[in-house]
Structure 1
Amino acid sequence: MANAKGSRRRFGSVRQLPSGRWQIRYPDPTTGLTRKGEETYPTKTDAEVALTLIEADIKRNKWADPDAGKVKLADFAAAWLRDRKLEESTRERYAITLRQYIQPGLGHRMISEITPARVRTWRSNLLDGGAGEPSVVKAYQLLRAIMNTAVDDELIQRNPCRIKGADTYDVPERPVLTVTEVFAVADAIGPRWRALVLLTAFTTLRFGELAALRRRDVDLVNRLVRVQRNQAELNSGRLYDKAPKSRAGFRPVAFPAEIVGDLEHHLDRYAGPGPDGHLFIGPRGGQLRRSNFRDDWIKARTAAGVSEDAHFHDLRHTGNTLASQNGASTRELMTRMGHSSTRAALIYQHMTSDRDRAIADRMGEAVRQALSEQRPAPRAADTQTSQPE
């Protein structure tokens, strides 16, 4: 343009536009063609600084094509979900999270437009709008995973999901049933589901693992159940078996001799026929579902006088706590729980007041023993009671 002032540099060029602002141009390192800067600058110095930074990024191989991130998040996320190898239930869960929490606030944005500030605003709007914290945490985790792929694909240079603590939330302390309460619920729930309650409490299997058990997975002689699969349920109601989440999920879990009779009775009366018959089936022969068992659990919990805050899953929590209190190490807890990391197992290594008092008592015993070995025995004269004059 005739009225645009320009200056040549060793790398690229800057010029002043009719508006008075300054524009930069530089050679695209991938094509060699001259490209204009994405923005203009108020002063020549600002433009030259921006050009210097771009040159430095190119020399360090850290330059990213500004046009690469010009793809809508909704389109990129759809491709991310389509191309990723996921369990069917996980894919469904991610699709729901995208639809309900991510796309309404960010789906229309280009990948390059999603900044840390926009991520913070999106997250705050979800929480202020009444979304539960666990749901927002899962949405943030999914968005971060998608944006990590955008970084790997060199669409952006850095993941904008950088909010400290946004990927976790405080889980409230769950109720721990006593052994007496466990058996009270088992008594109240009736013979068909009695073994399910007891086996859950004393093996700490997940609901899906219990629902997927077959007759051949139960060894009454050696008092073991072998976890080989996990039942999943889609929103459509379709049930299917899938492999455990990790290799640690394939495991044998021992149960106490005190419930062998209950399991033997259950196998005789209620389990499906044949070695591959499901261990737990409904009264009409259907597979075990959370929905058709929930009412039975609530009625039994109420009849047994157990807290209404206690969920069926808390039987697993109860069993893990009992195992920890009775000497299970972190590694042993990990094996029983089917976890490959120590994080969950360490939760159950917390101190209870009874265990803490027992430790204090043993410490006191050690103190008394040490002092008795060091102090001389009191002399007879020292033990005489003095008489008043």
Structure 2
Amino acid sequence: MRDELTGKPQRERTDLHGTGLRYKVRYVDPEGRERSKSFPDRRKKAAEDFLGEMESGVRAGTYLDPDAGKVPFREYAESWVKGQSSDASSRQSIESRLRSQLYPFFDRRPVDAIGPARVRDWLAWLEERRLDGTYRAVLFDTLSSIMNAAVEDKLIRDNPCQARSIKRPRRSTHRVVPWPVERVRAVQEGLAERWRLAADVGAGLGLRQGEVLGLSAGDLDTAEAVLHVVRQLRIIRGQLVFAPPKGGKSRTVPLPDEVRAAVAMHRRSFPPTRVRLPWLEPGGRTVEVELLLSNERGEPHSGDHFNKVMWRGAFRATGLVYAPRTDGMHALRHFYASTLLAGGVSIKEVAEYLGHADPGFTLRTYTHLVPSSHARARQAVDAVLGGGANSSDGLRTA
């Protein structure tokens, strides 16, 4: 278009006016490479601030590559998982949490775009799904660990999970109510005969379900009256494997006469079966174990199959109402712990027999089951301050 008076060309604004990149910032990163970033019209102040931040970071040693944090959350998390526990079952649990509760929300979002506001929205989303408080706390710890790693890898400057506005989910507190012995016996009677031993060793030795299903006759030392808990049966990526007990630590548990007799009786009716499975994870070296518990074909069962068929079948057979929260096989461990505490066994010993790494966890779980020592405390003080059991003078002051 030309000006009517001068005839000179005249510029005319189009829809693209002001939308181009007008300012270009150049700086040298700590590796000596020249970097640049462009800014649109009317963003001169933003360009200057960016340049100042980059140069300041280079001088102070706190420089972050502005492009490093653009990696998608899922991609970074998948890399992070590889550096976690070498235990296949632990990695499988972490991967399951990521797939079900983190990837659906964060997925392709860049790591540096996950701020406190996004974390708060995610926590609200988890609460709307009515997830248990303890599970939400575990999920939060998983996200926080990933973002901590991102800080260490210099993808982001701060972990958004540690912002003051973020409230970590509180773990649920479910008071353990041990089964009465009558319920233990009823479930035991309801189990099919070849699986009845599971209730005997669960209630009498406090084993976890995988440890029960992976139990071998060779684990019993009848001379010393102990059981060596050295393995469990797990399912990893859809395949049964043998693995060390939870935490990778074996332990020794006292062997009561009742349990020893139950094992002997079971072996007469159902001789141990040699089972060869991978150790730790599919494709690993195989080990052969003489299992005490197996089906009619001499095959072991996964915990899921045992729960759905044998365990719940015992409730149906006896007419007992099954409550998922309190009636899982873990109830036998609670029964075992409560029995020991009622018998005066110390918390430290109970923790050792249950395979708890922290006796404090055992105390927090079962503290309400520890017999009261109030009477013994009163008697002890009265015996000293009262001058003897028959004294009626009480405590005198000078």
TM superposition shift of 1:349 = 4.8
Counterpart of 1:148 in structure 2: which amino acid?
A: N
Note the alpha carbon deviations across 1:85-128, whole angstroms, 9 max, x for none.
54333333333322222122111211111112211112212321
What's the counterpart of residue 310 of structure 1?
327
- Counting only pairs closer than 5 Å after superposition, residues 265-344 of structure 1 correspond to structure 2 as 265-273=265-273, 276-294=289-307, 295-301=309-315, 303=318, 308=323, 309-344=326-361
TM superposition shift of 1:306 = 7.7
CA 1:141/1:307 → structure 2, altered by over 3 Å: closer, same or farther? same
What's the counterpart of residue 11 of structure 1?
none
- Counting only pairs closer than 5 Å after superposition, residues 178-197 of structure 1 correspond to structure 2 as 178-197=180-199
Note the alpha carbon deviations across 1:30-82, whole angstroms, 9 max, x for none.
325354488999896x9877766655543432221221111111222223335
What's the counterpart of residue 240 of structure 1?
241
| d(CA) in 2 for partners of 1:376, 1:226 | 51
Partner-residue secondary structure (3-state), 1:124 = helix
| d(CA) in 1 for partners of 2:351, 2:386 | 42
CA 1:376/1:177 → structure 2, altered by over 3 Å: closer, same or farther? closer
1:165 aligns with 2:168: yes
Counterpart of 1:31 in structure 2: which amino acid?
A: G
TM superposition shift of 1:27 = 3.9
RMSD (Å) for aligned C-alpha atoms = 3.6
1:373 aligns with 2:387: yes
- Counting only pairs closer than 5 Å after superposition, residues 11-30 of structure 1 correspond to structure 2 as 26-30=27-31
1:140 aligns with 2:103: no
| d(CA) in 1 for partners of 2:223, 2:266 | 15
CA 1:234/1:103 → structure 2, altered by over 3 Å: closer, same or farther? same
Are the counterparts in 2 of residues 203 and 254 from structure 1 also a CA contact under 8 Å?
yes
- Counting only pairs closer than 5 Å after superposition, residues 252-267 of structure 1 correspond to structure 2 as 252-267=252-267
Partner-residue secondary structure (3-state), 2:103 = helix
Counterpart of 1:157 in structure 2: which amino acid?
A: R
TM superposition shift of 1:192 = 2.3
| d(CA) in 1 for partners of 2:188, 2:375 | 35
| d(CA) in 2 for partners of 1:343, 1:370 | 32
Are the counterparts in 2 of residues 320 and 348 from structure 1 also a CA contact under 8 Å?
no
1:346 aligns with 2:363: yes
TM-score normalised to structure 1 length: 0.77
Note the alpha carbon deviations across 1:320-342, whole angstroms, 9 max, x for none.
22223333334322321223223
Partner-residue secondary structure (3-state), 2:242 = strand
1:175 aligns with 2:188: no
Counterpart of 1:109 in structure 2: which amino acid?
A: R
Partner-residue secondary structure (3-state), 1:155 = coil
Note the alpha carbon deviations across 1:216-265, whole angstroms, 9 max, x for none.
112233322211222111463x2111223435x21121122233221110
Partner-residue secondary structure (3-state), 1:199 = helix
1:355 aligns with 2:371: yes
1:364 aligns with 2:382: no
1:156 aligns with 2:156: yes
Note the alpha carbon deviations across 1:289-326, whole angstroms, 9 max, x for none.
33443343334346285874422111112212222333
TM superposition shift of 1:202 = 2.1
| d(CA) in 2 for partners of 1:149, 1:196 | 42
What's the counterpart of residue 228 of structure 2?
226
User: Tell me, which stretches of 5 or more residues in structure 1 are unaligned?
Assistant: 1-16, 379-389
Using the TM superposition, name which of 300-309 and 152-161 deviates more. Answer: 300-309
| d(CA) in 1 for partners of 2:134, 2:387 | 57
CA 1:207/1:84 → structure 2, altered by over 3 Å: closer, same or farther? same
CA 1:347/1:37 → structure 2, altered by over 3 Å: closer, same or farther? farther
What's the counterpart of residue 12 of structure 1?
none
Are the counterparts in 1 of residues 219 and 229 from structure 2 also a CA contact under 8 Å?
yes
CA 1:292/1:376 → structure 2, altered by over 3 Å: closer, same or farther? closer
- Counting only pairs closer than 5 Å after superposition, residues 24-173 of structure 1 correspond to structure 2 as 26-31=27-32, 33=34, 35-36=36-37, 55-82=55-82, 84=84, 86-162=86-162, 163-166=166-169, 169-173=171-175
| d(CA) in 2 for partners of 1:304, 1:258 | 26
Partner-residue secondary structure (3-state), 2:69 = coil
| d(CA) in 2 for partners of 1:53, 1:153 | 19
